[in-house]
Amino acid sequence: MSLASNVPEGDLKEKWTKRLNDINLVAPNNKRLYNVIVVGTGLAGASAAASLAELGYNVQSFCIQDSARRAHSIAAQGGINAAKNYPNDGDTIWRLFYDTIKGGDYRSRESNVYRLAEISNEIIDQAVAQGVPFAREYGGLLANRSFGGAQVSRTFYARGQTGQQLLLGAYQAFMKEIDSGKIDYYPRHEMLDLVVHNGKARGIVTRDLVSGEIRRHTADAVLLCTGGYGNAYYLSTNAKNSNVTAAWRCHKRGAYFANPCYVQIHPTCIPQSGDYQSKLTLMSESLRNDGRVWVPKDKNDERHPNDIPEEERDYYLERKYPSFGNLVPRDVASRNAKYVTDEGRGVGETGKAVYLDFADAIERRGRDYIEEKYGNLFEMYHKITDENPYERPMRIFPAVHYTMGGLWVDYNLMSNIPGLFVLGEANFSDHGGNRLGASALMQGLADGYFVIPYTLGDYLGGEDLDQVEGNEEAFEEAENYAQEHIDKLLNVEGDKTVVEFHQELGKIMWDKVGISRDEEGLKEAIKEIQELRDEFWERVRVPGESANYNKYLEFAGRVADFLELGELMAKDALHREESAGCHFREEYQTEEGEALRNDEEFSYVAAFEYQGLNGEIQHELHKENLEFEFVELKQRSYK
Amino acid sequence: MSNDNMQFDLKIWKQEDGDSQGAFQEYHMEGVSEDMSFLEMLDLLNEKLIKNGDEPVEFDYDCREGICGACSLVVNGIAHGPKEETPVCELYMREFEDGQEIVIEPWRAAAFPVIKDLVVDRSAFDRIMAAGGYISTKTGSAPEANTIAVDKEDADKAFDYATCIGCGACVAACPNSSASLFTGAKISHLSLLPQGKHERKERAVRMVEQMEKEGFGDCSNHAECEAVCPVGISISAIARMRKEYMRAVTES
Amino acid sequence: MPSLVDAARSQVGRKILSGITGILLGIFIIFHLIGNLTLFGSEQAFNIYSHTLESMGIFLYLFEIGLVLVFLVHAYIGVAIWLRKRKRRPVGYEKYSSMGDPSKQTFSSRSMIFTGIILLIFTVTHVATFKYGDTQMITVDGTQMKDLKALVINTFQNPWYVIYYIVVMILLGFHLRHGAWSAFTSLTMKGGTKTSAVVYTVGTIFAVLMAVGFLFIPLYIYATGGTGALIAS
């Protein structure tokens, strides 16, 4: 299969308009004849389902949570970017585009990123109209703040809960369509397989997480909005139920998985306190606007941070990157935190943390100002660590946060399987090798509100789809496969728990496919993951039965998929012999220790095709070359 | 150094499914660190149970950082446990005394039937939201964002209500199992904003009616809901709901 | 939009109605207490006051019918909420505690049905004792009237009666403590945390004043054998 990115010809600024001018349309009264499945109810899924239902399509929406409102987009804190230029500081669509593509270290598709920047303003309009309570100035107009990787203030925010408010906006629009009868809603349902009939995505197989019942659902198109795969690392800032299963099962049905090694490690998380830890908590990167990052100059300095005098502190980001200082992009901040802790200058009981200090900001702007801006983050930190960040510096450490990789999609957000669309974090598009802060919310909503309503119509209007009933062979086969997979998990009856396997996988991934990688480690990781996977299928113990609510059975299926994905992530990282964005290979760095890209050989999207359903897992690599017609590739520098 | 070997006697509600009778089961837990979250303590219990070939305890959770609203445990008689403005996922074992008994129950309300053990069905909240908990804006039809000015004070107040995480602790703690705080918070959020004023009457009436239809009880102003709310939503939400409702029925 | 009748039967309407009737009853007991305190006025003040009320004729009947209606509506809503509440949580908690401040859940709030039913029963006995009790006729300034004062003083020579009254008045205090707060909260439709604290404190003071005011009378009469210095004779 070839990788046709399907990008319109012409000037960058005209491409999206041109596409809109050319697409097929579905007449208003014909839309009710089409059924669309939307899996996931985060920003991308809820906004897509609501918008498509408004247009008149029959939407079936699925989520694994007990309510659509709990999708993990809810946890995004900092904000959402848009090129409104309200602060009058010189922002333009071009600048937002340029910052995003540069931040992504030139590993994303120009045309997609430009479209994202173009749409960004409409998202703010939409959210405000829905009643999203963004922060405002005293005059009643919207407020902005600055964020990492940009020199303008273009981030809109709702205290530290921007994701929550935007998701509730989309969720409310979604509930409105449930009320109007255009959305059939299936909470507590997990997608276990994609049904590909006559070469096209025509349905899914789900498990009802309450009754355990396996069911088939038919449709004319399937939209996958299932988020990222950061939980491959066990510990991440993702919610406990976030997983790759839906995407991975689509991958096994033929959808290409692109750039799996691009994983963002967020620099400002609350450090781990023990082995029992089940997840990591992010502290919004907006904290770096006012907090200063430092470690002691000496190794193993065990003094209380407030007792360490100014001259014995190393504000290493300000020292190394004078022009961006504490606001360097996430990958740079994370890597540097790893370096200083590897040197033995880390702080706290575990030595795996650095300080984020607000003393200066509190002195300069007053405690009230800090409280107004970050009050809830400070409270959260205090609750978790039992330390008061108004009185002593926070301890922070990087944690897996976001995955730029995902299923490959063309400009229309359609995967290489016709009829399977992938939106939001689940696709690989817009962020290249690294995502800038406040861009995830932007992308999820852009895809759902303002891209898919058009491109889905283009597909449906242009295809001649035969009727499916759900009893075709492909449905039969998919349902049987899902059931067999569950039975297989339950029948191992081993002696190790699912969580133990997940933790072991996470450790391999963090140590060897983490912040920085090298050939030797990656090769070891591949081998260790393969061994762990074999062990999993011999020794895993899944309690309970399938015909009932069974959380550990759900986890088992997800961990089984992570054990396959992890290997692919390592393989991708191994084959990409360059450093780009969050993918940092020790062998490929500048003399100053910065990521060294190899544009000659690696300026492409690595899209992997799954081969073989059982036994050895093989992948074939397909390359989509990234052509940069409009921007000049530069070595990123935040000095 | 922190205490890594706390012990607890747990008394946990176990119920096979919605149709079964439930009962309490007792477990003794050792080796609990004071830096563990309450849910991590239950994870540890489940690891031990699974290794022993026993059934784990089912409970709801997702984000584990206090924002998704999935976690829902009544700990020693208090929804989300003893720490104020803290959901149970952000409750740490340091809040408990070494050796103490901890009773863990599901949210109990007719409108929140038990699914299994400590997991309940809160879809009634979704249906209240579907009965008008939104502003009808079609995608693409929104005006330029700054053409709608909102007083900062109103925007801040609206946010205070909009911050509801939909966990249902208000219902669980209310002696009458009333959902007034949840419903009131959404009505208040939307009615405070100029965008939300157009549908305010219908919204208030429909949401209040749906709340009753779902089988939630009357509000008797105990204000227990405000006390247990993990995000500190004030009962002024209930006052605003009443005002919106009365406005709707008295102004034609 | 629902009709006013439907609205009155909704959760919000019921609460508003309960608040309105509660406040009316509250106003009634304030005047009742003021009236009672005429026992401590001049020798015949109480009897003149009672006689004046009784002389209002049709107005008194209308007032009484209105009062009975208000009382019954208030009681009906209270009982209905309580009956419904049991269905709203069929399986109760093994262990239940209040979180404490800013919760207003107290013995007062949880015992409204109990204190309310006691007050209902009490009211019937109270009316039977004093409205329809045996009285002598006396002449004051040339006007014939019932000597209710003597009835009150005689009645409260019985220690059981006094205990009964004191206990019920304490319960009234508890009922009013939550009731005053709740009615104001329902009716003012305001309720920030600070406002709530003020309303609750004022409501508590009101409840204590009423309870103490009412129970002081039987207690004083009993303690002094009806001949205390405060009672003119």
Instruction: Give the start-to-end residue ranges of the domains of chain B.
Output: 6-116, 122-250
Of B178, B224, B245, the CB nearest to C98: B224
pLDDT at residue number B252:
66
Q: Identify the residue whose tokens are 């109007």.
A: A180
CB B168 within 8 A of CB B112: yes
Tell me which of A61, A156, A175, A500 to substitute to probe the interface with B (most B C-beta atoms closer than 10 Å): A175
pLDDT digits (tens, 9 = 90+) for B142-160: 999 999 999 999 999 999 9
Q: Please, what sign has the CA dihedral across residues C104, C105, C111, C113?
A: positive
Phi-psi group of B43: left, alpha or beta (phi > 0 → left; psi -120 to 50 → alpha; rest → beta): alpha
Whether B246 sits inside 8 A of C92 (CB atoms) is no
pLDDT at residue number A591:
81
A&B contacts, CB < 8 Å: 224
pLDDT at residue number A113:
97
Least Cα separation, residue C187 to chain B (angstroms): 8
Q: Search chain C and give the residue with CA nearest B84.
A: C99
Q: Of B159, B209, B225, which Cα lies nearest the Cα of A169?
A: B159
Residues of chain A with CATH 1.20.58.100: 483-601
Q: Is A376 helix (H, G, I), strand (E, B) or coil?
A: helix
- Chain B residues with CB inside 8 Å of C14's CB? 218
Band of the pLDDT at A146, cuts 50, 70, 90?
confident
pLDDT at residue number A366:
94
Residue A2 pLDDT > 70, yes or no?
A: no
Q: Search chain B and give the residue with CA nearest A85.
A: B146
Range of weakest confidence among A28-37, A141-150, A567-576, C142-151:
A141-150
Residue A364 pLDDT > 70, yes or no?
A: yes
Q: Search chain A and give the residue with CA nearest B147.
A: A141
Mean per-residue pLDDT, A7-30: 95
C near A: at least 3 beta-carbon pairs less than 8 Å apart: no
Query: In angstroms, rounded to a whole number, what is the distance separating the alpha carbons of residues C137 and C51?
Result: 11
Q: Search chain A and give the residue with CA nearest B41.
A: A276
Q: Search chain B and give the residue with CA nearest C86.
A: B176
Higher-confidence residue of A293 and C57: namely: A293
Whether A142 sits inside 8 A of B55 (CB atoms) is no
Query: In angstroms, rounded to a whole number, what is the distance separating the alpha carbons of residues B229 and C22?
Result: 28
Pairing of strands B78-79, B73-75: antiparallel
pLDDT at residue number A536:
98
How many residues are recorded in chain B? 252
Domain count, chain C: 1
pLDDT at residue number A635:
79
The correct CATH number of A265-400 out of 3.40.50.300, 3.20.20.70, 3.90.700.10, 3.40.50.620 is 3.90.700.10
Query: In angstroms, rounded to a whole number, what is the distance separating the alpha carbons of residues B27 and B12?
Result: 8
- Chain B residues with CB inside 8 Å of C88's CB? 109-111, 176-178, 215-217
Mean per-residue pLDDT, A323-341: 88
pLDDT at residue number A617:
85
Q: Which domain holds residue C55?
A: 4-88+105-224
Residue C30 pLDDT > 90, yes or no?
A: yes
Of C90, C92, C102, the CB nearest to B223: C102
Neighbours of chain C (3+ CB pairs under 8 A): B
* Per-window interface: B 145-174 vs C, CB < 8 A: 173
Of B216, B226, B248, the CB nearest to C102: B226
C11 interfacial to chain B (CB closer than 8 Å): yes
Whether C89 sits inside 8 A of B76 (CB atoms) is no
pLDDT digits (tens, 9 = 90+) for B181-206: 999 999 999 999 999 999 999 999 99
What's the Cα-to-Cα distance from B46 to each of A235, B41, B97, B115, C26, rounded to whole Å?
Answer: 18, 9, 21, 18, 55
Band of the pLDDT at A636, cuts 50, 70, 90?
confident
Of B205, B223, B243, the CB nearest to C104: B223
* Per-window interface: C 94-153 vs B, CB < 8 A: 94-105, 109-110, 112
pLDDT at residue number A565:
98
pLDDT at residue number B204:
97
Q: Of A449, A470, A530, A429, which Cα lies nearest the Cα of A218?
A: A470
End-to-end CA distance of chain A: 43
Of B56, B62, B143, the CB nearest to A129: B143
pLDDT at residue number A613:
59
Catalytic residues of A: 330
Least Cα separation, residue B5 to chain A (angstroms): 13
Tell me which of B242, B245, B246 to substitute to probe the interface with C (most C C-beta atoms closer than 10 Å): B242
Whether A70 sits inside 8 A of B68 (CB atoms) is yes
pLDDT at residue number C232:
81
Whether B126 sits inside 8 A of A187 (CB atoms) is yes
User: What is the rounded average pLDDT for all residues in chain A?
Assistant: 94
* Cα A204 to the center of its chain, rounded Å: 23
Q: What is the DSSP letter of C39?
A: G
Q: What would the two tokens of residue A325 be?
A: 């200082």
Cβ-proximal residues to B6 (8 Å cutoff; 6+ apart), any chain:
B32, B33, B34, B93, B96, B98, B99
Residue A372 pLDDT > 90, yes or no?
A: no
Whether B177 sits inside 8 A of C89 (CB atoms) is yes
HEC assignment per residue over chain B: CCCCCEEEEEEEEECCCCCCCCEEEEEEEEEECCCCEHHHHHHHHHHHHHHCCCCCCCCCCCCCCCCCCCCCEEECCEECCCCCCCCHHHCEHHHCCCCCEEEEEECCCCCCCEEECCEECCHHHHHHHHCCCCCCCCCCCCCCHHHCCCCHHHHHHHHHHHCCCCCCHHHHHCCCCCCHHHHHHHHHHHHCCHHHCCCHHHHHHHHHHHHHHCCCCCCCCCCHHHHHCCCCCCCHHHHHHHHHHHHHHHCC
Band of the pLDDT at A331, cuts 50, 70, 90?
confident
Least Cα separation, residue A375 to chain B (angstroms): 13
Of A168, A276, A552, the CB nearest to B40: A276
**Fold assignment, A483-601:** Methane Monooxygenase Hydroxylase; Chain G, domain 1 (1.20.58)
- Chain A residues with CB inside 8 Å of B189's CB? 131, 133
Tell me which of A240, A373, A378, A489 to substitute to probe the interface with B (most B C-beta atoms closer than 10 Å): A240
Band of the pLDDT at A373, cuts 50, 70, 90?
confident
Query: In angstroms, rounded to a whole number, what is the distance separating the alpha carbons of residues A72 and B10?
Result: 30
What's the CATH code, domain B122-250?
1.10.1060.10
Band of the pLDDT at A375, cuts 50, 70, 90?
confident
Band of the pLDDT at A614, cuts 50, 70, 90?
low
Query: In angstroms, rounded to a whole number, what is the distance separating the alpha carbons of residues A217 and B171?
Result: 35
Of A240, A379, A549, the CB nearest to B61: A240
Mean per-residue pLDDT, C9-38: 96
Whether B50 sits inside 8 A of A273 (CB atoms) is no
Query: In angstroms, rounded to a whole number, what is the distance separating the alpha carbons of residues A272 and A281?
Result: 9
Beta strands in A484-633 (DSSP E): 496-497, 540-541, 604-611, 618-625
pLDDT at residue number C226:
80
Q: Of C204, C167, C152, C165, which Cα lies nearest the Cα of C182?
A: C204
Query: In angstroms, rounded to a whole number, what is the distance separating the alpha carbons of residues A45 and A47?
Result: 6
Assigned superfamily of B6-116: Beta-grasp domain (3.10.20.30)
Residue C135 pLDDT > 60, yes or no?
A: yes
pTM to 2 decimals? 0.95
Tell me which of A123, A270, A549 to substitute to probe the interface with B (most B C-beta atoms closer than 10 Å): A549
Band of the pLDDT at A40, cuts 50, 70, 90?
very high
Of B215, B217, B245, the CB nearest to C12: B245
Q: Is residue C98 domain-resident?
A: no
Residue A404 pLDDT > 80, yes or no?
A: yes
Q: Is A344 helix (H, G, I), strand (E, B) or coil?
A: coil
- Chain B residues with CB inside 8 Å of C116's CB? none
* Per-window interface: B 78-97 vs C, CB < 8 A: 78, 82, 84
Whether C99 sits inside 8 A of B223 (CB atoms) is no
Query: In angstroms, rounded to a whole number, what is the distance separating the alpha carbons of residues A238 and A231?
Result: 6
Range of weakest confidence among A76-80, A376-380, B106-110:
A376-380
What is the number of alpha carbons within 13 Å of residue C129 lying toward its C-beta? 19
% of chain A exceeding 70 in pLDDT: 99
* Per-window interface: B 2-21 vs C, CB < 8 A: 11, 13
Q: Provide the 10 A C-beta neighbour count for residue C87.
A: 11
- Chain A residues with CB inside 8 Å of B130's CB? 175-176, 178-179
pLDDT digits (tens, 9 = 90+) for A214-236: 999 999 999 999 999 999 999 99
Phi-psi group of A155: left, alpha or beta (phi > 0 → left; psi -120 to 50 → alpha; rest → beta): beta
pLDDT digits (tens, 9 = 90+) for A435-450: 988 999 999 999 999 9
Neighbours of chain B (3+ CB pairs under 8 A): A, C
Q: Of B24, B93, B103, which Cα lies nearest the Cα of C96?
A: B103
Whether A122 sits inside 8 A of B140 (CB atoms) is yes
Cβ-proximal residues to A500 (8 Å cutoff; 6+ apart), any chain:
B47
What is the number of alpha carbons within 13 Å of residue C97 lying toward its C-beta? 15
Q: What would the two tokens of residue C187 be?
A: 């009716």
Least Cα separation, residue B30 to chain C (angstroms): 23
Residue B102 pLDDT > 60, yes or no?
A: yes
- Chain B residues with CB inside 8 Å of A84's CB? 145-146
User: What is the rounded average pLDDT for all residues in chain B?
Assistant: 96
Tell me which of B86, B161, B192, B220 to substitute to probe the interface with C (most C C-beta atoms closer than 10 Å): B220
Mean per-residue pLDDT, A24-38: 95
pLDDT digits (tens, 9 = 90+) for C50-61: 999 989 989 999
Q: Which residues pair with A400 in a beta bridge?
A: A265
pLDDT digits (tens, 9 = 90+) for A515-566: 999 999 999 999 999 999 999 999 999 999 999 999 999 999 999 999 999 9
pLDDT at residue number A582:
93
Q: Is A269 helix (H, G, I), strand (E, B) or coil?
A: strand
Q: Provide the 10 A C-beta neighbour count for residue B10.
A: 18
- Chain C residues with CB inside 8 Å of B10's CB? none
Q: Which residues pair with A269 in a beta bridge?
A: A282, A397
Of C4, C89, C103, the CB nearest to B223: C103
pLDDT at residue number A553:
98
Residue C191 pLDDT > 80, yes or no?
A: no
CB A8 within 8 A of CB A411: yes
Least Cα separation, residue A637 to chain B (angstroms): 34
Q: Is C130 helix (H, G, I), strand (E, B) or coil?
A: helix
Band of the pLDDT at A261, cuts 50, 70, 90?
very high
Band of the pLDDT at B60, cuts 50, 70, 90?
very high
Tell me which of C14, C89, C176, C190 to substitute to probe the interface with B (most B C-beta atoms closer than 10 Å): C89
Cβ-proximal residues to C91 (8 Å cutoff; 6+ apart), any chain:
B22, B108
Pairing of strands A540-541, A496-497: parallel
Mean per-residue pLDDT, C13-19: 95
Query: In angstroms, rounded to a whole number, what is the distance separating the alpha carbons of residues C80 and C89?
Result: 15
